[in-house]
Amino acid sequence: MEATINTYQCPACTGPLHFAAGSGKLECEYCGSSYEVAEVEAFYAKKNTPAQPELTCPACNAALNSEGMSGEATCPSCGAEFQMEDLRTYAAQMAEKHDDNMNWDTKAGSPWQEGEADGLRIYGCKQCGGEIVADETTGATHCPYCGNPVVLAGHFTGLLKPDLVIPFKVDKKAAIAALQNHYKGKTLLPKVFKDQNHIEEVKGLYVPVWLFDADADANVEYDATRVRRWSDSDYEYTETRHYAVIRGGGIGFENVPVDGSTKMNDALMESIEPFDISDAVPFKTAYLPGYMADKYDVDARESIDRANQRIKQSTEDAFRSTVMGYTSVTAVDSNIRLQNSKARYALYPVWILNTDWNGQKFTFAINGQTGKIAGDLPMDKGAFWKWLLGVSGAATAAAFAISYLMWLL
């Protein structure tokens, strides 16, 4: 039978301890300290016990002194009250948190085969710097982004070939009708804008888009509140209780789009989503005649930050929907780990109209697959004030009538 021999060091100077038969204690020959055997064993037992996670207040993040505490604990900083068991569970969960790991395989697109792009031309806009790809039969004349003339810059070279394309379903006639319908009922829209908007100049454009797929494993922490209000004869009271709510799980993402053009406004492009990716087909140049295609100037790697933002926001929103029974719920922290990530390069169909009015530029975008439209409209200030005075006048007349009736009574 083997015996286990423990060799202890002095807690004061870390020198070796030896048992002194005369005193019955463990003594240090370096600093002269002496200890009871049980005292040293207790010291080492405490030293070898795994450290407990530091307790912090979930409401204000102040440090809590847990020594000697049991049952309930009150934060000395904000006064919030917690069960110690809940605090320790919360601390353990926080200790297991990881940093975001949102890395991507950005191998999207493919090289062009020899002769595959022979019929494509590059047109450059000297005003905004845009570069437009068009079939040699299309003959682009104006930039779809700023409306200025474009010039032939040469044969198409470089860049990657798209993996997918969503063909146009909405033709030019339907796009013009969608714009006309968009103007209907807009009483504050200047009539001259509608009359001189040149909507027949709307242009069909394939916008470069990077599509991101991934499986996400996430943990999200929310600050939830419950608010209670009451009053007595002297005061009105409001009590707000804060709760730390944690959600975790997995969620899959497919075809998260990020447009690859600095010329295309991200908010405008996202406003005409969604696009139905089930209509996408392998890219062929046969889909380009009659339309233009924007030449991407933001590659897949440069689009990662925006893809991560969209995935993070969607994850927090999805988990948020499971937190119920509170007055308010706000995400305060999240960490996401991605697996099976990949990217693809696609072209999305968009009708674009740029128009100037009173020195301002207005851009409209129409989803070339669904017809959904987005864009800002100008306001006729004269019509606005007439409308406002009419509303104010009606409200004033109603108030006067009520006062008159009350006076009669």
Q: How many Å apart are CA 120 and CA 134, to the nearest integer?
A: 6
The angle formed by the CA atoms of residues 352, 358 and 361, to the nearest 5 degrees, is 25
* Segment 144-170 mean pLDDT: 83
H/E segment holding residue 254:
strand 236-259
From 270, 245, 243, 249, select the one nearest 259 (Cα to Cα).
Answer: 270
User: What percentage of the chain reaches a pLDDT higher than 90?
Assistant: 34
Asked if 162 and 188 touch (Cβ cutoff 8 Å), the reply is no
Calculate the dihedral angle through the C-alpha atoms of 331, 335, 337, 342, rounding to the nearest 10 degrees: 50
Which two tokens mark 80? 């919030």
Query: What are the Cα distances from residue 77, in Å, to 62, 64, 74, 81, 143?
Result: 7, 9, 9, 11, 60
Asked if 155 and 122 touch (Cβ cutoff 8 Å), the reply is yes
> Is pLDDT above 80 for 304?
yes
Q: How many helices (H) and strands (E) does the chain have?
A: 7, 16
User: pLDDT tens, 208-243?
Assistant: 999 999 999 999 989 999 999 999 999 999 999 888
> Is pLDDT above 60 for 50?
no
User: How buried is residue 186: exposed, middle or buried, by Cβ count under 10 Å (0-12/13-18/19+)?
Assistant: middle
Least confident span in 41-55, 191-205, 268-282: 41-55
Summary mean pLDDT of the chain: 81
Query: What are the Cα distances from residue 353, in Å, to 95, 98, 181, 241, 255?
Result: 53, 46, 15, 51, 27
The pLDDT score that the predictor gives to residue 139 is 60
Radius of gyration over alpha carbons of the chain, in Å? 34
Neighbours of 56 (CB within 10 A): 16
From 279, 276, 268, 281, select the one nearest 354 (Cα to Cα).
Answer: 268
Cβ neighbours for 100, distance < 8 A, ≥ 6 positions apart: 308, 312, 335, 336, 337
Asked if 74 and 125 touch (Cβ cutoff 8 Å), the reply is no
The pLDDT score that the predictor gives to residue 54 is 66
Asked if 101 and 84 touch (Cβ cutoff 8 Å), the reply is no
The pLDDT score that the predictor gives to residue 93 is 67
Q: How many Å apart are CA 169 and CA 275, to the nearest integer?
A: 11
> Is pLDDT above 70 for 397?
no
User: pLDDT tens, 139-156?
Assistant: 657 788 887 778 777 777
User: pLDDT tens, 66-85?
Assistant: 555 567 777 877 777 777 77
User: pLDDT tens, 379-393?
Assistant: 655 554 555 555 455
